[in-house]
Homo-oligomer: A and B are copies of this chain.
Amino acid sequence: MANQFDALLRRLSLKVTPKRLAILEILAAEPIYLTPEEVWTRMKRKSTRAGLPTVYRNLEELSACGILIKIVHPDRRLYYYFCPNDHHHHHFVCISCRKVEDLNFCGLDSIDREVRKSLKGAVVSHLMQVYGRCKECLAG
């Protein structure tokens, strides 16, 4: 039996390469969002050394496919997170420890209605992110 991400990649017509698997394994094991460079460092530790551009490329691809979530951060650097929840939802991200937690709330329905009726426009995508401090960070 192969890696748990085998089928996932195949389904998306992405070749199952050691780099991709390593990237997914690393992110899936983290409850926090990581920068490409951090993923790259962890790959070295696992002796799945890869080029930094490869990491960037794969993270971008995988997030474009919806496997990974790109976290929008005020510092405008790239961050990625693996979220197993495949329903549409948004995230609460801890600005202190980088933990990501799912939010069930999404106001897209109301927004879409407003955009269509009042603005006569069409929604293409939307972004919602909540920044704050998680339970542990509040306690600490």
| A residues apposed to B, CB below 8 Å | 72, 76, 92, 94-95, 101, 103-107, 110-111, 114-115, 119-135, 137-138
In contact, A127 and B72 (Cβ under 8 angstroms): yes
Please name the residue on chain B nearest to A128 by beta carbon.
B128
Asked if B115 and A124 make an inter-chain contact with CB atoms under 8 angstroms apart, the answer reads no
Contact B111 A105 (CB under 8 A): yes
Tell which of A111, A123, A129, A133 has the most Cβ of chain B within 10 Å.
Answer: A111
Residues of B within 8 A of A134 (CB): 119-121
Residues of B close to A137: CB separation below 8 A: 121
Q: Which residue on B lies nearest to A120, using beta carbons?
A: B135
CA distance A133 to B120 in the complex (A): 9
CB < 8 Å neighbour of A132 from B115, B128, B133: B115
Given the interface pairs A103-B114, A105-B107, A105-B110, the reply to whether A127 lies near B131 with Cβ below 8 Å is yes
Point out the residue from B92, B103, B123, B133 that lies within 8 Å of A130, measured CB to CB: B123
Distance from A78 Cβ to chain B, minimum over Cβ atoms (Å): 8
> Which residues of B lie under 8 Å from residue A138 when comparing CB positions?
120-122
